[in-house]
Structure 1
Amino acid sequence: MKNLILDGMEMDNFYDIPINEIEVDDINVRKHNREDRIDELARSINRHGLMQPILLFGNAGKPPYKIIVGQRRLLAHQKLSKETIKATFSGEIEPIEATLLSLAENMQRVDLNHADKADHITILYNHYGKDEHQVAEALGLSVRTIRDYVKIGEQATDKAKELLKSEKVSKADVKRAIDAAQGDEEKADILLEEIGKLSKYDKSRAVEYGKENPEATAEKIIEVGQKPKVQETIFLKLPKRITKAIRKASKKLYIDIEDLALKALEEWLERNDFIS
């Protein structure tokens, strides 16, 4: 999908566009932290020039223009009191395709917060008929990553998203709180306040207990998570191709290697009726 959109654009045609003819629109996915490190970017542009033109919606000669990609570059130009900025145009594409382009570009940036990503990935997910594979292919992400963001986009409360935007909680902990709360938003918010204080293994126990006991209170879930659990350590010598595959999957799915290996082993044992 993404390649088809790009192929329809005249990306080699650049224009000097008056900055006062450009406006930020909902098609740009960056809603927060827009001005982070703008001074640094402005200094770079002032010294080296604009290395990559911004992308505007529609065609040249029909202002006002809506920005798809390059919002921070535009802000840096405004800070430098420049009157024009070099831009290229998307041509006539659907607004949802413009959102896809903006999201695809911003997903590669570490400073786009997870809440914005979750909200816009969820928009694309619904647009494509809840086809997570199509969204994953369009954005170049794993299906697991799409699922995680959609879960946050659809189930996280406004309070949880605000904490995520301000980086007071992690994306993983928001997902853990949702999983443990089993649809109870109030419980999820209470869990989110406490789950970040637990160790990785305590968090796993808390989530597991919450899933198995949907009637349990948030306090009980945290209490169980904090209790030591009898575990046995088994060391395995794995072929190089297996360890390489595990590391590759861990990196692609953003899952800890130990958690990934345990989950794969557990699923195999369940599938072959060794775990009832």
Structure 2
Amino acid sequence: MRVKDIVLVKANYKPNLEAYPYTKPTDYYEIKGLNPLESAGYNTVSFVKMVTDNNEESIVEVSDMVADIILKLKNVIIGREIDETERIFDLLYRITLPFGRKGIVMMAISAIDLMLWDLKGKETGKPVYKLLGGPTRERIPAYASHLHPTDINELRKEALSYLEEGYQAMKMRLCCGPLDGYKGMERNEELVKAVRDAIGYNVDLMADVWMAWNLKYARRMLKRLERYELSWIEEPLPPDEYHAYKVLSKEIGIPIAAGEHAYTVEEFKLLADYGIE
């Protein structure tokens, strides 16, 4: 089965997203009056379809900028066997080295890779997880991931609703960064305290910062939050600040989660080399 074409199915669908009172990531992310997600095309969604010579199809959902890259790369893929997943990945990675390696280019290559694996599953009649070696466990713990920085009373109610649904772990978001100063730190702590007081200490609580702090701010903020026994703090720093992550992980008692914005094996190796777990 060979790749016949890659086409845009539906472009620029903009979901109805609810707004929350966040400090913009890293505080100085204004670009031509847009927030970072709008500037990067994240708030619009495109659907890209890969079609084979026997009319089998696979569809992925990506941002419109990623869709543009996929369509630019499609001539490299058309006519190739869908079983050539490793060869196609390596080829796409190699030809995009001057402007790729991270970000939207790797997202585009990943989307192509996903469609190829999906088509391999359809060709063999097996789910992709079996093609990749099968399951390694029977059950996977789940956590509720929302708890945006809204009204304190509403935040407590939301946290308690997750307990009623049976969740024993949940992740919240923090809204303030370096430019918010001491009052911002107080607000972040107020949010964490409200949720922790509502759910108690027998439930895992995590917090996500989405790359919004610098090392100086993270040190001070996380020292204030240690008393609330967070299971982890997610991406407190920009993803390329490996040394700062290493320093922070040695100074702070809260485990640090990183890697969401790592795109390659090499980046994960860097995280490991710097002792970031």
Tell me the TM-score range normalised by the shorter chain. under 0.3
Higher strand proportion = 2
TM-score by length of structure 1 reads: 0.26
Instruction: Kindly name which structure, 1 or 2, has the bigger radius of gyration based on alpha carbons.
Output: 1
TM-score by length of structure 2 reads: 0.26
Higher helix proportion = 1
